[in-house]
Amino acid sequence: MTTSSLAPRALTPALLLGVIGVVYGDIGTSPLYAMRAAAQHFSADGLEKWKILGLLSLITWALILVVTVKYVAFVMRADNRGEGGILALTALAQRVMKTDRSRFAVGAIGVAGACLFFGDGVITPAISVLSAVEGLKIISTDFEAIVIPISLIVLVVLFFVQYRGTHSMGVVFGPICAVWFLVIGGLGLIEIVKVPEILVALSPHYAIQFCIAYKMLAFIAFGSVVLAVTGAEALYADMGHFGARPIRLVWSVFVLPCLALNYFGQGALLIADPASIENPFYLLAPEWFRPPLVLLATAATIIASQAMITGAYSIARQCVQLGWLPRLEVRHTSSVEEGQIYMPQVNFALLIGVLVLVLTFRTSDDLAAAYGIAVTGTFLCTSILAVLVFRRMFGWSWPLVLAVFVPLATLDAVFFISNVLKVPDGGWVPLVLGAFLFALMTTWKRGRDLLFSRFRQDSLPLKSFLARLPQSKSIIRVPGIAIFMTGQADYVPNALLHNLKHNKVLHERVLFVTVTNLDVPQAPDRREVTELAPGIHRVILNYGFLESPNIPRELETLRDVGVEFEAMQASYFLGREQLVSAVVPKMARWRQWIFSLLSRNAVPATEFFHIPSDRVVELGVRVAI
């Protein structure tokens, strides 16, 4: 039932600690604000016992249905050669589509989910760090004035150290998160012992009773209940790092029990003392333990934010490799792990967004209104794509697919619509950000497609060029190696035609190099080499969406297949397009402007492909689209 053929990894303590620290950091910090945000909807007329039991039952069954059933039991079965996440699922769904239109539609759903994920990436650090530092107000009201400054300092430092990579920080992530889960579970258990009748909330009866009694208000409360499952997408997205088995095991035997104990403990405290609605999480702890708990919570939220930041890097790189974003700078922070990267432009954009949110909303309660839409929107996109994959790729019958995914998708839709009601209070933030990113990505994709289409119209087919070459007496062959980068392997690069037109020379050895991006994490076969004519070869270099291209390094390996290559004799010929409007434009003017702006600000091909700048010849060409 999976597309992966990878052998399961050994369940070592280090692996399990890594899962705890990286995968569950986000969902593990939800108890800081989820119960309080949900209960505050009903605190005005008194927090009665049945209300608390109903809310607690809703949270419990949200964890069970969304995380355990949807992701752990089903969605994690759909991996793209071991990789998970919304874009990996999109790649699987596109494979079973039969037309270009349907593939584009599926891609748009996946990109929409990715855009909302970026919105989540901006909100998560802001709300997590704010909610942790707000514990200072419980210690003393005198600390209220420094909550915002401390939060800003923590966030700036967090983003500033990203360039160093996650390895040095990652070695302590797991142990800190393990301590965090044990502490919050222990605090909840102490309160449960005092009010054991709180355990009846395990029955879904109380959730149903609560919804019947409150109707529309209960529907509104779903927007806060979903805060308990933020981070569920991380289970799926981090499959490639850890594998499905350890993620499932850690959730079932450690993370879920600790989370449930804490939520039930908060519920027990609210029954015993409704005034604790001020901050039921921190008030679970005895007064002497609150200062160290604030420090531990801050460390846990930094870890949760770190996981979201690195996830944003990974999603951004996948979007670049799959053609949805222009080239961005990618710095590898580890010589061992391919996935440990740092993207300066993405990091800076996230930092600015996070700081603006903290200064605008100022409290985690206000920011909670903005949080749910991004999460639930991604949930809904995942459910839609999962239906296509399980039906068409895994061969499930329609009755089975509908029986499994319609209830889960309905729950996602309820969560999403309930969060749409919070748009005036801050829910507009991820929607605006997501719509902006979606417009950028679809514009870039459409522009590149039009650009390649125009190249094919204006270029000479490679077969025709090779057929005419022996009869071209005016062309002089000169020593050296000419490498022509082209996105169209079957057409002559414009750079070559311009070079022949103006210089009347052709190098003794010519390589037409095309980089293709596959919809798999790592390309199974890196290169395809074809001899087209004496001294002329076509080289196709394949890369997966988790890989970064390095052209000179790959060309050095051509000697293994009998193609002579000397780096110091090589000259790289690149075409630089100058975009102009066609007589009959095929894109709206505003899209043309965005596409031109993105093209001008994309990372140069020399830097992205690691081509030595002193061996590059760029030839300009005007292209009308």
Q: Give the H/E segment covering residue 582.
A: none
Range of the domain at 480: 459-624
Give residue 352's pLDDT band: very low, low, confident or very high (50, 70, 90): very high
Q: Are residues 396 and 488 in the same domain?
A: no
Q: Are residues 146 and 55 in the same domain?
A: yes
Q: Which residues of 294-312 are buried (b: 16+ CB within 10 A; e: fewer)?
A: bebbbbbbbbbbbbbbbbb
Cα–Cα distance measured from residue 68 to residue 139, given in angstroms and rounded to the nearest whole number: 36
Note whether 135 and 292 are within 8 A (CB): no
Which pLDDT score is estimated for 166? 58
CA dihedral 160, 163, 165, 171 (to 10 degrees): -30
Which pLDDT score is estimated for 5? 41
Q: Is the pLDDT of residue 207 over 60?
A: yes
Give residue 167's pLDDT band: very low, low, confident or very high (50, 70, 90): low
* 316 occurs within a structural domain: yes
**pLDDT tens per residue across span 369-414:** 777 788 888 899 999 999 999 999 898 999 999 999 999 999 999 9
**pLDDT tens per residue across span 410-467:** 999 999 888 888 888 888 888 888 899 999 999 999 888 888 887 777 778 888 888 8
Q: Is the pLDDT of residue 477 over 90?
A: no
Q: Are residues 366 and 490 in the same domain?
A: no
Q: Are residues 394 and 504 in the same domain?
A: no
Average pLDDT on 158-165 reads: 81
List the beta strands (DSSP E) in 289-383: 331-332, 341-342
Cα–Cα distance measured from residue 182 to residue 20, given in angstroms and rounded to the nearest whole number: 12
Which pLDDT score is estimated for 511? 92
The two three-digit tokens of residue 129, written as one number: 């760090």
Q: Are residues 329 and 477 in the same domain?
A: no
Selection from 79, 101, 100, 99 nearest residue 91 by Cα: 79
Q: Are residues 406 and 496 in the same domain?
A: no
CATH number of the CATH domain containing 114? 1.20.1740.10
**pLDDT tens per residue across span 1-17:** 444 444 556 778 878 88
Selection from 229, 259, 227 nearest residue 37 by Cα: 227
Q: pTM for the full model? A: 0.80
Q: Are residues 433 and 490 in the same domain?
A: no
**Helix, strand or coil for residue 365?**
helix
491 DSSP 8-state letter:
B
The total of structural domains in the chain comes to: 2
Average pLDDT, the chain: 85
Last residue of a domain, one of 446, 476, 505: 446
- Comparing 7-21, 91-105, 295-309, 500-514, which segment has the lowest mean pLDDT? 7-21
Selection from 387, 410, 384, 409 nearest residue 399 by Cα: 387
Q: Residue 619's beta-bridge partner residues?
A: 575
Q: Are residues 534 and 589 in the same domain?
A: yes
Q: Is the pLDDT of residue 283 over 80?
A: yes
Last residue of a domain, one of 416, 446, 476: 446
* 12 occurs within a structural domain: no
* 9 occurs within a structural domain: no
Which pLDDT score is estimated for 506? 85
Task: Tell me whether strands 570-580 and 616-624 are parallel, antiparallel or unpaired.
Answer: parallel
Q: Are residues 404 and 482 in the same domain?
A: no
**Helix, strand or coil for residue 530?**
strand
Q: Is the pLDDT of residue 25 over 90?
A: no
* 2 occurs within a structural domain: no
Question: Could you tell me which residues come within 8 angstroms of residue 288 by beta carbon, excluding any fewer than 6 positions away?
Answer: none
Residue 538, amino acid: R
* 214 occurs within a structural domain: yes
Give residue 73's pLDDT band: very low, low, confident or very high (50, 70, 90): very high
Q: Are residues 64 and 112 in the same domain?
A: yes
* 8 occurs within a structural domain: no
* 7 occurs within a structural domain: no
**Helix, strand or coil for residue 166?**
coil
Which pLDDT score is estimated for 2? 42
| Helices assigned H by DSSP within 389-493 | 398-420, 428-458, 462-468
Cβ neighbours, 10 Å, residue 109? 19
Q: Are residues 525 and 493 in the same domain?
A: yes
Last residue of a domain, one of 399, 421, 446: 446
- Give the residue carrying structure tokens 């599926």: 106
Q: Are residues 432 and 470 in the same domain?
A: no
* 453 occurs within a structural domain: no
